[in-house]
Amino acid sequence: MHASSTPTCCLIKFGVITLGRSIKHCLAATACACLVAAVPMPAYAAQANLSRDDILWLGRITYGVDSASAAHLREIGRAGFLDEQLTARDDRLPAPIQAQIDAMPISTRPAAGLLADEIAEQKRLRAASDDPDAKTAARQARNEDGNAFLRDAMRRHLLRAVYSPAQLKEQMDWFWLNHFSVFARKGAIRWLAADYDERAIRPHALGKFRDLVMATLTHPAMLQYLDNARNARGQINENYARELMELHTLGVDGGYTQHDVQELARILTGVSVFVKAERPGRRMLQSDGLYAFYPARHDFGDKQLLGQTIKGRGFAEVEEAVALLVRQPACARFISHKLAQYLVADEPPATLVAAMSQTFQRSDGDIAAVLRTLFESREFAASLGGKFKDPMHYVVSSVRLACDRGAIADERPLLGWLGTQGETLFGHQSPDGYALVESAWASSGQMTRRFETARAIGGNYANVLACSGDTKGDTPRLDGALYALALKPYLAAATRETLEQATSAREWNAVLLASPEWNYR
């Protein structure tokens, strides 16, 4: 049964839920109604018209259907579309959007210089002992500058999510940022968030998992966040070693012991943040201007990790340890389960996870190959329409519907909508990242905030986002060609009835964006 069979109790007349039933109860019922029953394997052939399954398939491969993606799918079919998405052949942004990104300071100021400046400035502020009020004001000004850089990192990420034709790459960029989560309010991370996304995550989002782990391991954002910058011989810090196994590679049930954590921490000694002002003559075997390996801080003794001996020889130990971790069957299962949880179901079928794990091991952790196994599975086809949108998916898909490739003049409201719903980019304080399951986002309180977002987007999107071409008039209804293609034919009768009762375009839009059909993908 598709989402078009949504229980009547779940229809929203703004501010209330009809029939007086609780939001959480209604959404639980909707989740059951949205699940697709036995669905055959998808047919990868171009069709003259897109079916409901095509629309649902496209809404899962992308952040949400827009006219361009629908037309392209109609032109080349699912097989060609999937091939393009798995290789990210074309990630060019529309010229006005690229111009917005190019104008951001994060596009012109290298992270190495930003990090060096931040380290020097914090050292200067700590040493300052004159006017305490001036010192406080200087710290506040510095923090505000860093916050501006952080906002640009978030703005760029959202603009790409809305407009890039490489939609699967954008979803994976968010997924891996969340998987290898860093908290922007710690240390210098607010200055480094843009570079962390750009250099550590994006280049490897569809590549080899081992390369992704190494890129995050050697980035100063992660080194500061999980404290490996302070990990040295005689002053062991196990924080990152533990999370590298528990959260990044093997999972909490990955078969490692506390001894493995301790040995991995020893292996990671000396991998730290590059500090330009280090005292002269201090040896440093490698550095990219952001991270460095300091032999004097490294424990060169032999280690035993997961039953294997790692000979003490410096940074090569780190590379060997990471290769060992990602080759473990536990890593293949853990990463496959999490990908399936994000793209298929909160409790993904064991058969699918097993098939993905086999691909992970056979392909040496090729992320695109694992995703192909997922997308070409019967389990994926059977899940279409039944996955609840987390705030990122909800906001981006709503803007893709509302603007439909029209240029956003001001993307800052998107940051506010994500913040209101509790999924701010780089904003999760603990290293486990945001939850990927419906229960985290479908409580009464969460849904109330989502309805407020629906009201904000639907009530004034033409003026707030300035994406309609004419921002002086009232916001029009979202019932154009895209709505006719992707939503209208598949709305439940009760949803259509509620839309017909709307007394204004703003109310109509808000009801549509708050409907159960729109909250699932």
Total domains in the chain come to 3
The structure's pTM equals 0.91
pLDDT in tens, 405-426: 888 878 889 999 999 999 999 9
Any domain includes 139: yes
Dihedral sign of CA atoms 326, 329, 333, 334 in order: negative
On the question of pLDDT at 135 being above 90, the answer is no
Q: What's the pLDDT score for residue 39?
A: 37
The answer to whether residue 323 is domain-embedded is no
The verdict on residue 322 lying in a domain is no
Lowest mean pLDDT: which of 89-93, 246-250, 328-332, 348-352?
Answer: 89-93
The per-residue pLDDT for 472 is 53
Is the same domain home to 371 and 492?
no
Residue 152 lies in a domain: yes
Are 211 and 306 in the same domain? Answer: yes
Domain finish residue from 365, 384, 403: 384
Output 49 or 290, whichever has higher pLDDT. Answer: 290
Residue 138 forms part of a structural domain: yes
Which tens digits make up the pLDDT trace of 197-225?
A: 999 999 999 999 999 999 999 999 999 99
pLDDT of residue 30: 39
Together in a domain, 216 and 110: yes
pLDDT at site 10: 44
Digit-coded pLDDT (tens) for 75-86 = 999 999 999 999
Q: Which of 339, 362, 384 is the last residue of a domain?
A: 384
Co-location of 71 and 187 in the same domain = no
Q: Do both 378 and 257 map to the same domain?
A: no
Q: Are residues 124 and 142 in the same domain?
A: yes
By residue range, what is the domain housing residue 128? 95-315
Domain membership of residue 247 (yes or no) is yes
Taking only the tens place, the pLDDT of each residue in 230-287 is 999 999 999 999 999 999 999 999 999 999 999 999 999 999 999 765 554 566 666 7
What is the predicted pLDDT for the residue at 469?
53
Residue 295 lies in a domain: yes
pLDDT at 132 over 90: no
Instruction: Using alpha carbons, select from 231, 127, 234, 224 the residue that is nearest to residue 184.
Output: 224
Note whether 282 and 369 are same-domain residues.
Answer: no
Residue 19, pLDDT score: 30
Lowest model confidence (mean pLDDT) among 46-60, 322-336, 389-403: 46-60
If asked whether residues 29 and 178 sit together in one domain, one would say no
Predicted pLDDT at 488: 95
Exposure b/e, 171-202, CB count within 10 A at least 16 = b: bbbbbbbbbbbbbbeebbbbbbbbbbbbbbbb
In this structure, the answer to whether residues 342 and 257 fall within a common structural domain is no
